[in-house]
Structure 1
Amino acid sequence: MKTKRVFDGQRGVITSIFVASIFVNLLVLTAPLYMLQLFARVMASGSLPTLLALTTGAAIALVFFFLFDVIRQRLVARLGSRLEARLSPAVLQALISGALPAALRSAEPIRDIQDLRGFVTSPVFIALLDAPWSILFIALIFVFSPILGLVAVAGLAVLLTLGVLSEMMARKPGETAEEAARETNAAVEEMMLNAEIIHAMGKTNAQIGRWRGRAFTAILFGTLVTDRVALMTSLAKATRMGLQIAVLGVGVVLVINNQLTPGLMIASSILLGRAAAPVEQSIAGWRALLKARSAVARLNLLLAHAETEGARMELPDPDGRLSVEGATVVLPGRQDPLLMDITLTLQPGHALGLIGPSGAGKTTFARALVGLQPLVRGHVRIDDAALTDWDPEQIGRHIGFLPQQVELFRGTIAENIAMMDPGAKPSDVVAAAKRARVHELILALPGGYNAEVGPRGSYLSAGQRQRIGLARAFFGDRKLIVLDEPNANLDPEGEEALASAIEAACARGAIVVVVTHRLNLLRRVSHAALLQDGRIARFGEARQIIEAATQPLSRHQGDPGQDPKVTPLAPRRAARQGHGADSTAAEGAPS
């Protein structure tokens, strides 16, 4: 499969831009040719009709110059728009799909696309298009006078040398400044996400100091790049002006010696200015060119890593049978697997409670069930078809997921329940809220379903956000619903509503997998599994596992008024009891 590149599919627009540039640069010759004819014909003959004819021809040529230049500018603008319109969806899809390495999973590629579009529509890009035409203009000067041609070549060589020096001087500090700027922006995003805890714990100055160190590096090297490019730009301007003076001075000597006409001298000066202008502008915009080049390199790397798969055939809508076969997860940089040979089967209507100590792999397993965590070995199957064989859009309509950290979009409660789908029916939104037992809670809020949740759901409490996220997981025809610590922020009333929602979902034929330690929820599920060190230490009917888990409670003094948490035993005890279907490895503890 051919790897996508940034400029793939833009050949027609780029070709049109080059064709327009041909006409623009040919019509640039209007002024020097007009000047040449004035000295050669009009001033020699004094013919006003000739002057009128030449002026009319020049005016027509300028009209065409204007038209072709406008066309080129618009084509360049269209190229920038097409690049952003084509690349942004592909980049977003790659970022959301999780198919990229961790180093590429950020919002920076979107900024790279915007930087690339800004460069394409800038005067620097136009100057680069015009730069090859400098050779033609220098060749014409050679035709007029070989001596002036040699002067022009020497001056242009100096300008090109300044351009190369500018690139060499700005490359390393420019890369360092860009990297530091990205780290600075990432630090600011982290500070904004954790602004409340930073302020509450009195670490504002410490965090600003941490940010200042990165920002100082970006500022220092950015200033260094600016200074070096400015130095080269000023030298280029002085060189161009000196070059035109040199051409005029040498031209006057040639005119005095009758080796050149005044018209050819002035025409050579105009052509030299036109030949040197693109090189000078390129030097002035060298930093923008460096940023654009880095952006293209990063985008090409991202597109190379992104999986570009063709459209998949849709399978029949699933009944909801779930089977996990030898699921193994190993993260990059780690030798020990997070999950090892997880195997289990659930039928429609089953509910599975996942328990285990911190770091046992519960969240990783939950993410693997919904396709967010790739497996190095094994399969997650729905209706005997591996999750990776389903069309993501199709199977996604039948999977509900509630992560530990519930994030809401800026919008209304109804929009968040429908995952911002503009085609969602209000009746389906209300039905999902009722399934999640949050309909009355929503109606009690000011504005009801039309209430704004604010940025990241900040207008709602943590418990309210979690229950809205639960309704989102129940929206539509969900056959598999995975809930990761869904009762972490719920009060007893909310926890009871959650348990009722799980029972109702199972009654409709859905499979519910819930990560929890609360016995109140474990008593309402049909199956339970104990994860320990990335393996299933015990799997079976929830009743049996609850009995084994709560036996130690009779030997300890507990608070009968609280719902206990299930906490696994130490690994050595689990090893003594074995890992078979009848082994037990759970111990209760008060919450």
Structure 2
Amino acid sequence: MRSPRVFDGQRGLIVAIFVTSLCLNLLVLTAPLYMLQLFSRVLSSGSIATLVALTVGAGIALVFFMLFDALRQRLISRLGNRLEAGLGPQILGAVVRGTGGVQDTQPVRDLHEVRGFVVSPVFTALLDAPWSILFVALIYLFHPLLGAVATVGIVILFTLGVISELTGRDPAKAASSAARDSNATADEILRNADIVRAMGRTPTLVGRWESESFAAMRFGTRANDRIASMTSLAKMVRMFLQIAIMGTGVILVLQGQMGPGMMIAASILLGRAAAPVEQSISGWRLLLQARLALQRLNALMSEAGEERALMEMPEPQGRLSVETAAVVTPARQEPLIFDVSFQLEPGDSLGLIGPSGAGKTTLARALVGLQPLTRGYVRIDDAALTDWPPEQIGRYTGFLPQQVELFRGSVAENIALMDPDARPSAIVEAAKRAQVHELILSLPGGYNADVGPQGRFLSAGQRQRIGLARAFFGDKRLIVLDEPNANLDPAGEEALSAAIAGATARGAVVIVVTHRMSVLKSVSHAAVMEAGRMVRFGRATAVLGAEVRPMGAQVSEGPRDAKIEILRRRPAVEAQLAEGVAQ
């Protein structure tokens, strides 16, 4: 099956642009034909009527030239708009899903770059370049010697274009990569501007960005210099070609082999044939950048096209099971999590504790589908999480990450995750479930209060509690909270405990990652993570009490009402995963 491409579905519009280009380049013959008729008919006969008729005919042809040129520009503009409007949501959706490992907005910028190239004069020049062959063929009809001169000149210009491609491709690619790194560094500095300013590290980090920016400028300058050299040489060749065609034409006129009208017409045709080639060379840098962007977009769309469509499942009840889950990344030799297994029924809640770097956040992200598993399964109602359509299971999943960021808009819009169709009653209900209704009403503007860019108009604790309300919005069956009390005061922690109790009373499974033991008073189960392993799991009172003992990884078939579910070590599984890591 063919992979999707950027220009798929645009065939009709591209054919229309090609047809208008054909008509335009045929109408370009108006001036040389008019010149031929002046010398062959008007000057020889002295007929003013013939001159008037020829002039009127040429004027009508030029009116059609204007109409076709305007039509082509409109079609090209529509092509650019259709590319951005049609592919923009698809590209951004693929970035959000993490397709191809992309974590920034570079594909969106690539789409803008491709659109900018399509509506640029360079794209128009490329459309006109193939018709240079037609103009050279007409020059051959005037005289073979003139055609030979034109052919040599066009071949030289084409060769300069190839040289420009070969010499500018690698520097342009390096400049594009360095520019992406520089932009990423600038984004990081701006996201952490408060830390940078408070700790007086502005010169250091600006210097780091400057070094990366300088690398981009160095490679870009190298590419520009090479392309500029070819452009200047192409201009010289074109002007010398005009001189050569006129000089050759004069010789042929003096020898009586052709008339002066043919000589002038040949010069006009040669200028028209050489112009798009020269313009393409001068815009080669833009062409190289657009081609790199197009390649990246095609690769992203190819990977996105391989994602299979999933059948919608029945409404989940919320039963959660994790089976021998493991996560291994190329950046680390040791697994982030290894052989983790547990089960929770609707209405259960789990407090996940352990030292920093134990794998708690990795497990939390895996539970909501953000972290792919190297092996094992996360199951909702016995169906693997990867078998659920992301949009469907997402409607029943609430997630609060460690770093809470809000969207630019109102409090209500952020609770509803910018859903324009969200009912106000559902937004207020989510706030009440999260115990933040009174807090929101105390803000100037209440639910209509503007949170500012990334929620900067609110404190860290307020952002976290509004993020909690967002996690409770809708009919959630699985709620995962990663350190939800990191920025909360005692009153906020009490509200959090009440919110967790309310969610479990409605039949949801709630998982809380925390370093504070106070939250564990409101959960039914607790688990301890150490070095990527779940070493303890069971009833919260048992896991946190004196009856605890370290355990391995697999849940036994013992009775569910046991204080601690007994876990067995699995040497064969450990050896298998270790071998995979080594490979």
Aligned to 2:320: 322
2:381 to 351, 373, 383: 383
* Cα distance between partner residues in 1 of 2:162 and 2:333: 46
CA distance in 1, matches of 2:270, 2:473: 69
TM-superposition CA deviations, 1:531-560 (whole Å, max 9, x none): 2222221111111112138x9xxxxxxxxx
1:350/1:527 contact within 8 Å kept = yes
Deviation at 1:582, TM superposition (A): 6.3
Judge which range, 238-247 or 463-472, deviates more: 238-247
1:357 aligns with 2:393: no
Q: Answer whether contact 2:536 2:551 (CA < 8 A) is retained.
A: no
Identify unmatched segments of 5+ residues in structure 2: 557-563, 568-583
- The CA deviation at 1:349 is 0.8
The secondary structure found in structure 2 opposite 1:513 is strand
Rounded Cα–Cα distance in structure 2 between residues aligned with 1:323 and 1:329: 16
Residue 432 (structure 2) aligned to one of 399, 413, 434: 434
Residue 292 of structure 1 corresponds to 290
Residues 387 and 213 of structure 1, relative CA distance in 2, 3 Å threshold: same
Cα distance, 1:123 vs structure 2: 0.7
- What pairs up with 1:90-101 in 2 under 5 angstroms? 90-101=90-101
**1:397 partner letter:** R
- The whole-number CA distance in structure 2 between the counterparts of 1:403 and 1:409 is 14
Q: Which deviates the most, 117-126 or 314-323? A: 314-323
The 5 A counterparts of 1:484-503 are: 484-503=482-501
Residues 437 and 498, structure 1, Cα contact 8 Å, conserved in 2 = yes
* TM-score scaled by length of structure 1: 0.91
Equivalent residue pairs, number: 560
The residue number in structure 1 matching 2:181 is: 183
Pairing 1:10–2:4 present: no
Task: For structure 1, list consecutive stretches of 5 or more residues without a partner in the other structure.
Answer: 552-572, 585-591
**Structure 2 CA distance for aligned equivalents of residues 519 and 131 of structure 1:** 72
Shift of 1:327: 1.7
Q: What secondary structure sits across from 1:306 in the alignment?
A: helix
How much has 1:391 moved relative to structure 2? 1.8
1:305 shift after superposition: 2.4
Residue of structure 2 in register with 1:532 after alignment: 530
Q: Distance in 2 between matches of 1:384 and 1:176?
A: 48
SS of residue paired to 1:100: helix
Aligned counterpart, 1:33: 33
| Contact map agreement 1:94 1:307 (CA 8 A) in 2 | no
Instruction: Provide the secondary structure at the position in 2 that maps to 1:401.
Output: strand
CA shift in 2, pair 1:574/1:321, >3 Å: closer
In structure 2, the partner of 1:256 is: 254
Going from structure 1 to structure 2, the CA distance change for 1:117 and 1:443 (only over 3 Å counts) comes to: same
Offset of residue 157 of structure 1: 1.9
Tell me how far apart the structure 2 counterparts of residues 531 and 19 of structure 1 sit (CA, whole Å). 67
- Equivalent residues of 1:537, 1:579 under 8 A apart: no
TM-score, normalised by the number of residues in structure 2: 0.93
Q: 1:463 aligns with which of 461, 466, 485?
A: 461
- Residues of 1 paired with 2:155 and 2:437: CA distance? 75
Q: Among residues 179, 190, 211, which one is paired with 1:192 in the alignment?
A: 190
- Cα 1:347–1:192 change in 2 (3 A) is same
* Change in CA separation of 1:89 and 1:170 when aligned onto 2, cut-off 3 Å: same
Q: CA deviation at 1:308?
A: 4.3
Q: Please state how far the C-alpha of 1:333 moved relative to its aligned partner.
A: 3.7
Q: Within 2, Cα distance between the matches of 1:175 and 1:310? A: 32
Give the equivalent residue in structure 1 for 2:73.
73
Secondary structure of the equivalent of 1:408?
A: coil
Q: CA deviation at 1:579?
A: 9.9
Instruction: Name which of structure 1's ranges 138-147 and 165-174 shifts more when overlaid on structure 2.
Output: 165-174
CA displacement, residues 270-326 of structure 1 (integer Å, 9 cap, x when unaligned): 000000001110011010011011111111122222254455332222111112222
CA distance in 1, matches of 2:264, 2:168: 36
For the 8 Å contact 1:6–1:300, the answer to whether it is kept is yes
- Which sits farther off after the overlay, 109-118 or 382-391? 382-391
- Residue pairs, 1:64-463, within 5 angstroms: 64-101=64-101, 104-309=102-307, 311-463=309-461
> Residue 480 of structure 2 aligns to a residue in which SS?
strand
What amino acid maps onto 1:441 in structure 2? L
The answer to whether the 8 A contact 2:349-2:511 is kept is: yes
The alignment partner of 2:528 has SS state of strand
Instruction: For 1:484 and 1:14, locate their aligned partners in 2 and report how far apart those are by CA, in whole Å.
Output: 50
**Residues 207-237 of structure 1: CA deviation (Å, up to 9, x unaligned):** 1111111111112222222222222222211
Deviation at 1:56, TM superposition (A): 2.2
Amino acid at match of 2:33: L
Distance 1:491 1:137 in 2: 79
Q: Is the 8 A contact 2:551 2:566 kept in 1?
A: no
8 Å CA contact retained: 1:522, 1:546: no
Partners of 1:323 and 1:255 in 2: how far apart? 92
Q: Following the alignment from structure 1 to structure 2, what is the Cα–Cα distance between the partners of residues 548 and 519?
A: 15
Describe the shift of the 1:307–1:387 C-alpha distance in structure 2 as closer, same or farther (beyond 3 A): farther
Q: Distance in 2 between matches of 1:341 and 1:172?
A: 45
CA distance in 1, matches of 2:495, 2:565: 32
Check conservation: 2:342, 2:555, Cα contact below 8 A: no
| Structure 1 position 49 matched with structure 2 position 49 | yes
3-state SS of 2:463 partner: helix
Structure 2 partner of 1:564 = none
